[in-house]
Structure 1
Amino acid sequence: MSPDMIFTSESVTPGHPDKLCDQISDAAIDAFLREDAGARAVVECALATGVVFLAARFAADARVDLSTLARKVILDAGYCAEGFDARSCSILTSSAELPLEAREPPPDALDEEAIARRVAHEQANVFGFACRDTPELMPAPISFAHRVARALDGARRAGLVPSLSPDAKTQVSVEYRRGRPSRVHGISLTLAFDEPAPGPDARERIRALALEALAGGEVAPDAGTTVHINAGGPFEIGGPARHAGLTGRKNGIDTYGEFARQSGSALSGKDPSRIERAGAYAARHAAKNIVAAGLADRCEVHLAYVVGQAQPLSLSVETFGSGVMSDEALSKRLSAVLDFRPAAIVRRFALRTRPASAAPTGFYLPLATFGHFGRPDLDLPWEAGDAAEALRG
């Protein structure tokens, strides 16, 4: 990327149809693992006006009421009125239950021999990224877009903007100089309202909320920062009444805001035996620890997996010229410090047991909105800097 540029990333609020699907899918993963830590499950969701469709394929010693779970997620997001109502929408389910023998071994049975036997079941290229743009070591545009989306959702829930729909999109453009974020160039909001378009007072309140969400940081809005509200035209109807949703369609929002590479696979709706999910968490952990250790200002970690093999086929590090040693040397140091075999990742991050201890909010459900990475509001194991000292050598 050019050292001098303007980069834009977007986020959405929990009521966006695609994010509703992600939340329903991850709430189901939480539910399966809460009852059975060895469960394997893939849950896909699609929805449109008045209709929700859930497809689940699982092997689990658990009973999960997918319809009730979906209604709770939709209601929590704010849909309980004409157009799309959690209480009256039609929910269709399709379940394929696999033999219990297909479950994963209990977490306490993951010794060295068991880890070596647990191979990748899918081919996957996963990427992790970290940089010094923000305290959470994430690219500034996506971090800022999430902050604004969170502020809008909080304001709606608190009744500060009563007519605001649960469905909103935020875009934040950050100006870079010499490779570092220097200022917030602009904020664009696409909002739906349950009533006719808001008057000047409500629009000014929304504008102030967006600016306040980004105030106080080293990189913040200034007198030249623009704020646009529905610049593309009226957005009178939001949510599933306007556009359909699907699990896994917001990968940029879930990861790095398209600032860095990401896998084409969805993160939500999969248990941690799926390497495209667990591997993405391990790659982020590795990249963040390299940056946290002071070994680079910007780092991407790539892990390549093939079916039937436990060890990654390839592990590579790219520091974009910011590393204190060669990328090859960092790759070797990383492979010596961290174990990237699928079962080792699951054991290190306790990915199968966390849903039980995170009840009732769930462990995977909160990840389905505002990103899977750079989350200071959540105690995520892949966001820990616990490998930094070892990486320094």
Structure 2
Amino acid sequence: MFLSESVTEGHPDKLCDQISDAIVDRFLQHDPLARIRAECAAACSIVYIAARFASPAMVDITHLARQVIDQVGYRDSTFSSRTCSIITSIQEEPQNATQRFDENSLDDAELNRITAQDQAAVFGFACRQTAAFLPLPIWLAHRLARRLSAVRFQKLLPYLAPDGKTQVGIEFRERRPYRIHSITLLTSHHGSAPVPDKLAADLRETVIAPVFQDELLRPDERTRIYINPNGPVLDGGPALHAGLTGRKTAVDTYGEYSRNSGNALSGKDPLRIDRIGTYAARYAAKNLVAGGLADECEVQLSYTIGLAAPASVQVETFGTGRLDDEDLARLVQEVFDFRPAAILRRFNLRRLPQALPGGFYRKLAAYGQIGRMDMGLPWERTDLAPALRHMTNS
């Protein structure tokens, strides 16, 4: 049995992630070479934002935060984009000329001079359980959370409030999904609580049934379905429980089915190796699986301060690899370039916020930063799978 959870964009932790990444987006839209780190906390009717930046760009952080809160849907008396207090601690740092470079113009020797500024062990994972190469529990939990949010925005259930959580439990046999053990939906609501039986019937009809309509594995007569099992949740959000940037790392990645570094992904510019290294490790793992070299694959990259390439690259295929894990690790190092500036260049990470309407990183901040099939993420491409397959067969 394995369970994974997801949350809607109105969950306080995810609200903080979105504010932090909206700040990153806005700086990079004005200045792709900006260095920015932003963290957010929210509780009751107070939002606290701490940001450090090195850039000639200036961003109205308070106004941007209110925009995000409003777009998520917080407009009632308990927590409102218009009336919440926003406290900021903003520090401008000197611009470092060595970090203001155009990675697209660097040669190999110059790429080596752009080193990791932090130490980090990051992980990437892929498997064949879903079309997105994600474990099935987190894939289904994300789908339910997105549908719960869509039902609210479309006003199919007008009493729903922004804060929500989903959880899916899957029974596995021989590391393969066998049946759906349980489904849990926690949702907040406005006004008087709906009758529990009515709420359950509404969510089964508008959320659960549409999500599982096209899934190969569906709830059966023994699947346990829990809807607000602890009772009604009035309004929810920061008025009920606090939020903090980076507290949903498992939701952002693999739902704890595979390891993650534990470091926050949101609120960091694309020179932070713990963020972009996670994307690069996922890219390698997914291409190995897509290339038929393993059914499950975890790639670990260990970075140390002052070096460009990771000090260690490890591959674990859980007994499903077509080659020994050590041979796959050597193959990965031959095919993939994990140096920070090389990752920036391959994924175009500093210029994506300018290229996409409404920004880029904020869209990543809810419903997972891995396995997204709605954004054309560069680290979700499988363009190197044919080359890996050919090198293995030759």
TM-score tier after normalising by the smaller chain length: over 0.9
CA positional deviation for 1:37: 0.9
Residue in 2 aligned with 1:234?
232
Residue in 2 aligned with 1:74?
69
Residue in 1 aligned with 2:157?
161
| Aligned equivalents of 1:107, 1:366: Cα separation in 2 | 24
Secondary structure of the 2:37 match is strand
Residue in 2 aligned with 1:57?
52
Check if 1:333 corresponds to 2:328. Answer: no
1:61-210 equivalences under 5 Å are 61-101=56-96, 103-199=99-195, 200-208=197-205, 209-210=207-208
User: For structure 1, which segment, 174-183 or 288-297, has the greater mean C-alpha deviation from structure 2 after superposition?
Assistant: 174-183
Residue in 2 aligned with 1:378?
375
| Aligned equivalents of 1:110, 1:81: Cα separation in 2 | 51
CA positional deviation for 1:97: 0.7
One of 285, 293, 312 as aligned partner of 2:291: 293
CA positional deviation for 1:214: 2.2
Secondary structure of the 1:85 match is coil
User: For structure 1, which segment, 286-295 or 204-213, has the greater mean C-alpha deviation from structure 2 after superposition?
Assistant: 204-213
CA positional deviation for 1:226: 2.3
User: For structure 1, which segment, 288-297 or 222-231, has the greater mean C-alpha deviation from structure 2 after superposition?
Assistant: 222-231
User: For structure 1, which segment, 60-69 or 293-302, has the greater mean C-alpha deviation from structure 2 after superposition?
Assistant: 60-69
Contact 1:37 1:106 in 2 (8 A): no
CA positional deviation for 1:107: 3.6
| Aligned equivalents of 2:17, 2:305: Cα separation in 1 | 26
Secondary structure of the 1:256 match is coil
CA positional deviation for 1:183: 1.9
Unaligned segments of structure 2, at least 5 residues: none
The residue type equivalent to 1:272 in the other structure is P
Per-residue CA deviation, residues 169-207 of structure 1 (Å, 9 max, x unaligned), is 100111112211122211111111112221333430112
| Aligned equivalents of 1:350, 1:340: Cα separation in 2 | 14
Contact 1:107 1:352 in 2 (8 A): no
Per-residue CA deviation, residues 271-308 of structure 1 (Å, 9 max, x unaligned), is 01000000000000000000000000000000000000
Give the TM-score taking structure 1 as reference length.
0.96
Check if 1:16 corresponds to 2:11. Answer: yes
CA positional deviation for 1:76: 0.8
The residue type equivalent to 1:363 in the other structure is F
Residue in 2 aligned with 1:3?
none
1:306-345 equivalences under 5 Å are 306-345=304-343
| Aligned equivalents of 2:79, 2:304: Cα separation in 1 | 42
CA positional deviation for 1:98: 1.2
User: For structure 1, which segment, 185-194 or 251-260, has the greater mean C-alpha deviation from structure 2 after superposition?
Assistant: 185-194
Secondary structure of the 1:81 match is coil
Per-residue CA deviation, residues 42-92 of structure 1 (Å, 9 max, x unaligned), is 001011111111111111121111011101110111101110000111111
Contact 1:110 1:347 in 2 (8 A): no
Contact 2:149 2:162 in 1 (8 A): yes
The residue type equivalent to 2:170 in the other structure is V
Contact 1:8 1:174 in 2 (8 A): yes
Residue in 2 aligned with 1:364?
361
The residue type equivalent to 2:90 in the other structure is S
| Aligned equivalents of 2:368, 2:310: Cα separation in 1 | 25
The residue type equivalent to 1:373 in the other structure is I
| Aligned equivalents of 2:286, 2:278: Cα separation in 1 | 12
| Aligned equivalents of 1:366, 1:221: Cα separation in 2 | 30
Percent identical among aligned pairs is 52
CA positional deviation for 1:231: 1.1
CA positional deviation for 1:108: 3.2
The residue type equivalent to 1:65 in the other structure is D
1:32-51 equivalences under 5 Å are 32-51=27-46
| Aligned equivalents of 1:20, 1:344: Cα separation in 2 | 31
Contact 1:12 1:169 in 2 (8 A): yes
Unaligned segments of structure 1, at least 5 residues: 1-5
Give the TM-score taking structure 2 as reference length.
0.96
The residue type equivalent to 2:379 in the other structure is W
Secondary structure of the 1:80 match is coil
Residue in 1 aligned with 2:246?
248
- RMSD over aligned CA atoms reads 1.1
The residue type equivalent to 2:52 in the other structure is R
Check if 1:277 corresponds to 2:272. Answer: no
Contact 1:51 1:91 in 2 (8 A): yes
User: For structure 1, which segment, 169-178 or 310-319, has the greater mean C-alpha deviation from structure 2 after superposition?
Assistant: 169-178
Per-residue CA deviation, residues 210-269 of structure 1 (Å, 9 max, x unaligned), is 232122222222233222111123322400000111100001100100000000110000
| Aligned equivalents of 1:110, 1:8: Cα separation in 2 | 45
